[in-house]
Chain A
Amino acid sequence: MSEHTERDDRDDRTETDRPAADGSRSRDRDALTDGGNVTTPFDVVSEYEETRQDRYRKLYDAYIYAPVSIVWRDWRARIGFSIILLYILMGTVGTWIIEPTTVAEGPALAQPFETMEYPLGTDDMGRDLFSQMVHATQGMLKMIAAGAVFTVVAGTTIGAIAGYKGGTTDSVLSSITDIFINIPGFPLVMVLALLLPIGGNPYLVGILLCVASWGGLARAIRSQVLTLRQESFVEAARSMGIPTRKIVFKDIVPHLMPFVVINLTNAGRRVIFEAAALYYLGILPFEDLNWGVTLNLAYNGGAHYRPEALHWFLVPMGAIIFISIGLILLGQSLDRVFNPRVRARHEKMSADAAENIDNDENPTNTIGGL
């Protein structure tokens, strides 16, 4: 405030314009500011005070509340989440509650729903199929998690960098990607499964199953980035001198999030499919019964031509199909969280605080979504 007093005497304006206390500038200077009682731009203070709590609430709204409420409004999300949650419960709590099954626990090939003791029936050695399914879940979930994370991290990183950088980087990364795409994935996994001593570790099996499959994602991401890197916002960021790493992961990759998320769930599904196939063919060594092993035993037990053994096939198939329905639904609904159009609609609705939430269910009756 001391600078104001120096200039007090030169002030020729009256107190009608502003409080007398800081009336200190010429008309020219007034034109630069908007006539407020601020002399330098550094004195500007927001008229609202934002406490730390407010800031946390905003972050919470943006990153937790909005996604969750968008997701929850979608029927797919509700079903998908419930299914996955059910499997997680089966893999954790279920293994405590349900006792592991043994040979000759019950009669051979009891039909499903015959007795409450064996709700899904038994196989030809009298093992409870329900218990087999529950106890296989934990290992399967570990495989899925390991495989999905590996695929998405490797695929997105390599694809985005290759597509954006171009030149030599692209050539080198694309060559590596090409090799992995071109190696016939499933046969390679078959060979590796025989070669590597990974039999019992579900995390390693999960990663092994995805060893050849990140290439497809990397290539798809690269092709998307190739089209995105010509966009104006990327060019703007580049001309502002923002480092490449930031442009790729802060500006470009978020645009591909729907794609990446769908691939996350796809990778999970692939792990289940391939694991079950490898166990079904008898290529991965059995240690415990899991869904694929049960399929293998059923096939070898001739369940495909013995009508009374049909459920032996259907139960593990059901377990595989059901979790994969859950994964697809989840992927679809998470896609909506990252979709800017859905997000914008959500924000508009929150602002209106309107009750007509149902509108969200069929937002784009008009063709082209406009």
Chain B
Amino acid sequence: MDSKQYKLLRLKIMGAITAFSLIPLVALGSFMHLQFSQGYRERISHSLQRSVENRKAAIDMFLEENILQLRNMAWTHDFEQMSDQAYLQHVFSTMQSGNKAFIDLGVIDGDGRHAAYVGPYELGDVNYRGQDWFEKTMLKGVYVSDVFMGFRQFPHIILAVMRREGNRYWILRATLDSEVLNALVRNYQTGQRGDAFLVNSAHVLQTSSGLNGAVLGKMDQLAGPSRFTGARVEEHSVHGRTVLYGMAWLNNVDWLLVISEAPGESLSPLFRTQAIVISMVGGGLLLIMAGAAIATRGIVEALARTDRHRAELDARIVQSNKMAALGKMAAGVAHEVNNPLTLIRESAGWIKDLLTEEDPEAIKNYEEIAEAVDKIDQNVERAKGVTHRMLGFARRMEPMQENVDLNQVAKQTMAFLQNEALHRNIELRAELAPDLPHTATDTAQLQQVLLNLLENAIDAVDHNGTVTIRTRTEESGKKIQLSVIDTGKGIPKEMQGRIFDPFFTTKGVGEGTGLGLSISYGIMERLGGGIAVESEEGKGATFTLTLPVC
């Protein structure tokens, strides 16, 4: 796996952890928010509904009280008494002393004529017969008008009750200043954007509204809710803003009491909770992501370590399998070649033997033949060198303990690379200690290590230089050393600690696996020895193998 794939894996794991943690987090957050907002909205609309109910009851009661008062007046006096101007004045004063809202009081006979009138206006000879309110009062006995301007040119309400005295019908009529209603409704208004007003079934405002204008203005927003009983709360969007309306129809008159609230104010605790929930979810998300990042980094790093370790093992196995297969093949080839080589040599030898019995003078090409036979012998010797070196490598790969002459191994291995070195004009030098003790080790594996070091040295020198193999006995006499010294470019200090690491390579892609020195290190440890490096940049490098003396 390359670093890109690890990165991708890391992102995938992180994504999965984050996504799966996010689901319950968001679910919990939105559930909490939903619960809270639902509860809160319910509470608001509940309190609004209760307010509307209370206020409606108060207004109803106010109107009923006034009607009752009027009715009492009518029923406790007869027409004769009431149509007396002075007496009516007396009654009106009594009423006004209890309720300042009464503006005037009139007594109207069954034909619509004013029998008596007390009040600030000159209405004495107005005939109401045929007017809507008159007809309705005659029909129902009680009448409450909408707010209107009338003759008086200011908003007022008419209350009227009809009394039957024997065969006579008459009406006691009072005018109420609608400002009283205003006050009754208004004192409930809450908050800056709250509003409270009365509106009749024709959408005409019966009291002034903070948001919808003065009394008798048109009110279009609550398009025609038909009459219903009890109180109702509705949510409407006004100018893109949610407004809660609490509504209730009055009992005695077709007026709708409306109390509106802008939730912007009353819902602000809700928005605060919303903000807290969002920031908690956000904070939780950040924490989860940080946790996921840390955990994932650990997992992927462990994975990468395992992968590296496994790749190193695989590479070692592949390498040793390769060496074993190569060894077997080399042994087979060497053996098969050795027999014909023996025959060639013996045949040539026999020719040479026979030539000694001949008279050189008698054979025309005696010299040439002798020379050719010598050439054959020389080349058989060369070929023998090759097959014997092959056999040297053909040992099996399991560590074997043999008595090994390190100098011999060094010579053999150098012979292998002689051509390559010559080709690059590199001098291979051997400085071998003559009295080197033998070591108990595995020749083939030691050869592999040495070959690797020599190849590296030749690569490091590149062209024109020397590679020296030096053997010596340590002062204690218990260990022997073999150094491969090159005149190459050397190894920078900071790299020296890493060159035995698996996959560390200074070569380009495809040129080196970075396993050579790592495997060599492993082999030397298995053989009970060691490998060390000394180098100064620009001055070449010295790799030293140490092996125990047997």
Our verdict on whether A and B bind, yes or no, reads no
